[in-house]
Structure 1
Amino acid sequence: MTARIRIVLADDQAIIREGLETVLNLVEDFEVVGTAADGAEAVALIAAEHPDVALMDLRMPVLDGAAATRRVTEETPETAVLVLTTFADDADIVAALRAGARGYLTKDAGRAELAAAIRAVAAGQSTFSAPVRDVLLGRIGAPDPARDAAESEAPVTPGTESGVAADAAADADPASANALAARFPALTAREREVYALILQGRSNGEIAQALYVGVATVKTHVNAVFAKLGVRDRAQAIAKGLGRA
């Protein structure tokens, strides 16, 4: 029998906690091992139970979800945090990703989407609902005066776009491989293609299909991207793409 995914739920609304606990315990490979009504309680419970996944609301008393996520990431790193919240504005998303959340769903997600997201983060993957991906891609192309000023003064690396050409590429599609060349010149052309697809929320299998290469080849490129960006997973890579990580 396959080992169950052990889950802790953190939400300040009792009806939400109880409903999620009931629904998730009906899934054969899930086991809810505890629930918490605020961020501080969640951190303590996760430290005691060491669950595979923590389902974390953001707006909670005592300690908010982003701060609780940061504590969990630092103190119980084997637990993957999946944010489940009503809010999908860019500030909340960025705060959660910077804190170390592995995935981000809104509470209008269906049961199948939630179950798939829990399995994904438990397996070490990152996952984001479609509205969240849209916000992330919008933030990637949003103006950042501090970043833009720093990049305008940075030396041009041979073989990369610069000046007007780079600006035009970024304006056309800020998440494209060409636009990424201006921001991340250390990446090879293929790595930029892979990174662009990561920013679209594609899995390794989907990237392999899009680029007509094997999954093992994609994994090699993904690992290289992570190493060059100084990140450990897709969530951090996307946060890095925001230009504010």
Structure 2
Amino acid sequence: MKIIIVDDDCLVAGALKTILEVNEDVEVLATGADGKEACELYERYEPDVLLMDIRMEKMDGLEASRSILSRYPKANILLLTTFSDDEYIVKALRLGAKGYLLKQDYGSILPALRAVYCGQTVFGTEIVSRIPDLLQGEKKFDYGKYDINEREFEMIELIANGYSNKEIAAELFLSEGTVRNYLSMILEKLQLRDRTQVAVFYYQHK
């Protein structure tokens, strides 16, 4: 797994590099100190995952994420910050960042990097629990433009509420095979990769 680390504190960037490269499957290609460098380094290396701070001078992590994702829509960006700021969390979700973690939770960084590398969307437990409240009050999203029918929307809601395929099958009186088929169609229609992204998508557009 090839990654780039961008943090305006060179000591933090260096410490993260040292900690992560202890693992044989991790290679830190480069480190940077601001969003502008993040954009340049991403273009040069196209890493598997970009691990980036949010609050930086010249260009912050959110602005850099917006710039990178506009050119590389499949970029895996994991945002790392000491600030559990509601506005940042919402902006990160809407930009399409694959994760948002607090720096003090060092133990979760490597598992999060691996999860993002495998196509999952990762938000710290503290943050996930707040997503519904943060995104309340938005205009109702039109799932019709994605050709999502009523039964599929019911399934999306259940997935967002943490139901397993077996639990969804029991709730909707379907077989697990039928649930899996519905899930495959939902992922295809919404152009998502897994059920975690379905849950995040739901809360983004609630």
The two structures share one fold, judged by TM-score above 0.5: yes
Residue pairs, 1:132-211, within 5 angstroms: 132-140=127-135, 142-144=136-138, 147=139, 186-189=148-151, 191-197=153-159, 199-200=160-161, 207-211=164-168
Bigger relative contact order (CA 8 A; separation at least 6): 2
Task: Tell me if the contact between 1:226 and 1:237 (Cα under 8 Å) persists in the aligned partners.
Answer: no
- Are positions 1:125 and 2:120 aligned together? yes
Task: Tell me if the contact between 1:191 and 1:224 (Cα under 8 Å) persists in the aligned partners.
Answer: no
* Aligned-partner Cα distance in 2 for 1:187–1:89: 35
| Identity over aligned pairs, percent | 29
Give the Å deviation of 1:225: 3.1
The AA in structure 1 aligned to 2:47 is: P
Task: Tell me if the contact between 1:7 and 1:30 (Cα under 8 Å) persists in the aligned partners.
Answer: yes
Task: Tell me if the contact between 2:152 and 2:186 (Cα under 8 Å) persists in the aligned partners.
Answer: no
Q: Which runs of 5+ in 2 are unaligned?
A: 170-174
Q: Which runs of 5+ in 1 are unaligned?
A: 155-179
* Aligned-partner Cα distance in 1 for 2:66–2:56: 14
Task: Tell me if the contact between 2:90 and 2:134 (Cα under 8 Å) persists in the aligned partners.
Answer: no
Residue pairs, 1:56-67, within 5 angstroms: 56-67=52-63
The AA in structure 2 aligned to 1:238 is: V
The AA in structure 2 aligned to 1:136 is: I
Q: Over residues 112-161 of structure 1, what are the superposed CA-to-partner deviations in whole Å (9 max), with x where a residue is unaligned?
A: x2111111111111111101101202224x334xx27xx9xx9xxxxxxx
User: Among 25, 28, 35, which residue is 2:31 paired with?
Assistant: 35
Give the Å deviation of 1:235: 4.8
Task: Tell me if the contact between 2:93 and 2:204 (Cα under 8 Å) persists in the aligned partners.
Answer: no
Alpha-carbon RMSD across the aligned residues, in angstroms, is 3.1
- Are positions 1:116 and 2:111 aligned together? yes
The AA in structure 2 aligned to 1:133 is: V
Change (3 A) 1:187 1:83: farther
* Aligned-partner Cα distance in 2 for 1:107–1:127: 14
Normalising by structure 2, what TM-score?
0.80
* Aligned-partner Cα distance in 2 for 1:224–1:90: 32
Q: Report how many residues are paired.
A: 197
Counterpart of 1:170 in structure 2 is none
Give the Å deviation of 1:185: 10
* Aligned-partner Cα distance in 2 for 1:29–1:104: 22
Change (3 A) 1:209 1:20: farther
